[in-house]
Amino acid sequence: MTASSDSASAVAGGLARHIPVLVRPAVDFLAVRAGGVYVDATFGAGGYSRAILAAAECTVIGIDRDPSAIAGGSELVQAAGGRLVLLEQQFSDLQDAATRCGHDAVDGVIFDLGVSSMQLDQAERGFSFRHDGPLDMRMGGSGPTAADVVAQASERDLAAILATLGEERHARAIVRAINRARGDAPIEGTRALAEIVAVVVRGRPGAIHPATRTFQALRIFVNDELGELLAGLVAAERLLKPGGRLVVVAFHSLEDRIVKSFLAERSRRGGGSRHRPEIEQAQPTFDVLTRRPIVADDAEVAVNPRARSAKLRAAERTAGSLVDGVPSGLLPRLPSLAEVMGRGRSQSSPTARRRR
């Protein structure tokens, strides 16, 4: 991966429909330097990768589980003159991605969580009730869709998903309405589901659409977004060199809580932890660089309303040795996608509150 002399500036321009959020502080916290290797774990439209490549003559490994994001990055790969490699992969496997690119350790890992504007805007992806489309919501192309979950999940599981991942107060009422509707005909479209929810949850002027929380919950569940996040953080901890930087931009309080708790646990000096009291953590693996999360200023929010809920946290990898395993107690107690699909709505067995 050799760099052409002016390739840093060549990749600085270019149009992307997704407007990256907090890109300047994100790249600053990554402390990009010439010769460094950085993983952009959520490539999307490549806004972060483009900024990292423009900051110094470095190398970027871009990962996205969405094949269309990887295909859309081909121009940037060309422009980067060998400094950008793209891989279709889940970021829980980012160690494997780096190894495949010949790197056992890297200088920085950055996550920009959630969905991209392109994913939201394509009706056929089924992420948004603003366009009618199939109730799909998968970021990658495999596994059960949101329609499968809505069709198969027991009332109890569905209510737990909406209440936990959507923080939806009306979860039970919504699920009763879904249950009545799916008894008549399968709920296969985004509009159909949004209309069922809107009958139960009254919208108020100026408030979010009544189906917003339901859609968010199903999307997070279908893609196991919180499980992926925790696995991604652990993988980044393993992959980063001492002095390497971790940067995470989260848009959802559940995500941000996981990032904050993970960093609090891994930066604690001496003794065990609330989550793993049995472990003597001699040395922390991270120093937290952001005592409070970085948020967007008014000017950025005015240009890009998505930025309003963004929270950036950053940390530096210490030389501390790794603790085995994934911290417990950081993920909400919910059945997995496989469990929900496996037992189906016909079975009334109590939800085994497994996990994680």
Ligand X SMILES: C[S@@+](CC[C@H](N)C(=O)[O-])C[C@H]1O[C@@H](n2cnc3c(N)ncnc32)[C@H](O)[C@@H]1O
Tell me which residues touch ligand X (CB under 6 A): 16, 18, 20, 42, 44-48, 63-66, 69, 90-91, 112, 114-116, 139, 228
Among 32, 37, 31, which residue's Cα sits nearest to residue 106?
37
For 195-200, the CB contacts below 8 A with 24+ separation are 200/170, 200/173, 200/174, 200/176
Stretch (H or E) spanning 63: strand 59-64
Residue 110 pairs in a beta bridge with 40, 247
Do the Cβ atoms of 188 and 134 come closer than 8 Å? yes
Residue 314 pairs in a beta bridge with 247
Among 199, 245, 271, 217, which residue's Cα sits nearest to residue 39?
245
**Sign of the four-CA dihedral 315, 26, 49, 228:** positive
Q: How far apart are CA 334 and CA 331, in angstroms?
A: 8
Do the Cβ atoms of 149 and 222 come closer than 8 Å? yes
Burial 82-111 (b: 16+ CB within 10 A, else e): ebbbbbbbbbbbbbebbeeeebeebbbbbb
Question: What are the backbone dihedrals phi and psi of residue 147, each rounded to the nearest 5 degrees, phi first?
Answer: -60, -40
Q: How far apart are CA 83 and CA 216, in angstroms?
A: 35
Instruction: Mention every residue, 6+ apart, whose C-beta is less than 8 A from residue 234.
Output: 326, 327
**Sign of the four-CA dihedral 220, 223, 224, 226:** negative
Q: How far apart are CA 355 and CA 199, in angstroms?
A: 33
User: To 10 degrees, what angle do helices 190-200 and 171-184 make?
Assistant: 130
Q: How far apart are CA 351 and CA 68, in angstroms?
A: 36
